[in-house]
A and B are shown apart, each in its own frame.
Chain A
Amino acid sequence: EGQVLESGGGLVQPGGSLRLSCAASGFTFNNYAMNWVRQAPGKGLEWVSGINSGGGGTYYADSVKGRFSISRDYSKNTLYLHMNSLRAEDTAVYYCARSRFGGHDLDSWGQGTLVTVSS
């Protein structure tokens, strides 16, 4: 079925940077689009960014465009989210999620990693 496992969250000051990682296992990483979704404390889900299986197509929510960058390393079966110019409103649990093969809906999720932006 496949699994994904996030890491890299933590406390960062406003204006700072952080890189999240998502290690994929149990499926052919090259064949699947991947995504980041976040959830602020007590709030709903917000899709943040996605990348297609080939890596040539990247997509972003308006709220993070120009500040966040998604990438993937096929040799390491790992997805990344590079976050710059972080703001307090970026505080959230960040989930890595795999797109279902042949679709965009998210059929496999990690447990999430917490990012806190605070001075």
Chain B
Amino acid sequence: DIQLTQSPSFLSASVGDRVTITCRASQGIWSYLAWYQQKPGKAPKLLIYEASTLQSGVPSRFSGSGSGTDFTLTISSLQPEDFAAYYCQQLDSHPLTFGGGTKVEIK
């Protein structure tokens, strides 16, 4: 099975900050990686698929990059509504594993 390692697991930031979250796969997964946002008590929401394609309706301050084993999610200017947990997921092969998550909190 493909393992995904996210870092950091916890991040404290201020409104307006540029935030970067990384996701490393245990083997190459081409660009088959998605990013999700989850707020407390809510279902996850798809932000980015195929490593860098923004899902419809997602603000352009979110961006994704990477291929192979190393990927990043960047929020260019953190907004109050962005404080949440973020997860990566590999879509290259079953089982479709998730990373451990990154919780973004207000500094």
Contacts and interface: CB of A to CB of B under 8 A. Distances in A.
- What secondary structure prevails in chain B residues at the interface with A? loop
Contacts of A88: none
A47 B95 contact: yes
B96 A35 contact: yes
Contacts of A111: 43
Interface string B19-56: 00000000000001010101000011110011000010
Interface residues of A, number: 22
24 contacts: A37-B44, A44-B99, A44-B101, A45-B38, A45-B98, A47-B95, A47-B96, A47-B97, A50-B94, A60-B95, A61-B95, A95-B43, A103-B50, A103-B91, A104-B32, A104-B91, A105-B34, A105-B89, A105-B91, A106-B44, A107-B49, A109-B43, A109-B44, A111-B43
